[in-house]
Amino acid sequence: MSASQNASQNTGIPFTKATACGNDFLLMEAPHASGDLAALTRRLCDRHNGVGADGVEWLFPDAGADVKVRLINADGSEAEISGNGTRCVAAEICSRENKKEVVVRTGAGLKACRLTGQQGSTFEFEADMGQPEVGGQLAIETMWVRAVGTKISMGNPHFVIFVEDFQDGWQRQAALIGTQPQFPQGTNVEYVVVRGANEIEVRLFERGVGETQSSGTGSCASAVAAIASGRVASPVTVIAPGGSQTVRWDSRVYLRGPATLICRGEFFV
């Protein structure tokens, strides 16, 4: 039997791979899958033996939105929302239908993504990310890590730390912070350098994933913490290794940035 004949007899699940500033996701229709979605997500996200991604946005039909999503991280843990992942989902819906606005039901509520431009397979949206919750400063002090940061919720937890520059080994410190008892459900950790009156640069360590090239909610949390502390003014350009996004805070937080559909394929189960 040829390899192509053997592959054709496998049970396949179709997927779309998309990226938002280097933060990559697989978009998959949940009804096509069965069994343990967490275990399947770990297989899918493996960058050597799977397709490779930071997480999977599992798509479900929803009567009150264009689509409902369940986000599972690369390690199989579940997250309330990804701002970048939500934009990737909106790009997929726009590629199928002629829509100017896509409403996505996430674990953090309904998020409306307004299409502001398109070039080929890249779609730009401004997404209404809702109202942030700004906590007070928190000091983390252990034998291995010392840090002072601000707790921010964008529907998911963040800990924002302002620094003069990015030190070697920040990833190890961020991983330790996320396991502290002050964060019983874990937390996303952002290191932020202020670059100007309306500009910050960030490094991101996401719960359930590790270091990422970008983060939508992380960009929002970083900008909100910087605005709330008087370091910058809205709107804020947030520079991450994977690219830049714009955050404006006007009672509600709005995130603007691109999402690119990379490819479509089939994963053999």
What are the pLDDT tens digits along the chain (269 aa)? 444 444 445 679 999 999 999 999 999 999 999 889 999 999 999 999 999 999 999 999 999 999 999 999 999 999 999 999 999 999 999 999 989 999 999 999 999 999 999 999 999 999 999 999 999 899 999 888 899 999 999 999 999 999 999 999 999 999 999 999 999 999 999 999 999 999 999 999 999 999 999 999 999 999 999 999 999 999 999 999 999 999 999 999 999 999 999 999 999 98
CA separation, residue 71 to residues 38, 59, 79, 212, 217 (Å): 10, 9, 6, 16, 13
In angstroms, rounded to a whole number, what is the distance separating the alpha carbons of residues 195 and 126? 23
pLDDT at 83: 97
In angstroms, rounded to a whole number, what is the distance separating the alpha carbons of residues 192 and 200? 7
pLDDT at 11: 79
pLDDT at 143: 85
- CA count, 13 A, side-chain hemisphere, 53: 31
Class of the CATH domain delimited by 133-250: alpha beta
Residues in the chain: 269
Class of the CATH domain delimited by 3-130+257-268: alpha beta
pLDDT at 58: 98
Q: Name the segment(s) of the chain with CATH classification 3.10.310.10.
A: 3-130+257-268, 133-250
Token couple for 217: 């909610």
Place of tokens 């100007």: 196
Q: What stretches of 10-162 show up as alpha helix (H) in DSSP?
A: 37-45, 83-96
State the CB neighbour count (10 A cutoff) for residue 52.
Answer: 14
pLDDT at 9: 55
* pTM, full prediction: 0.93
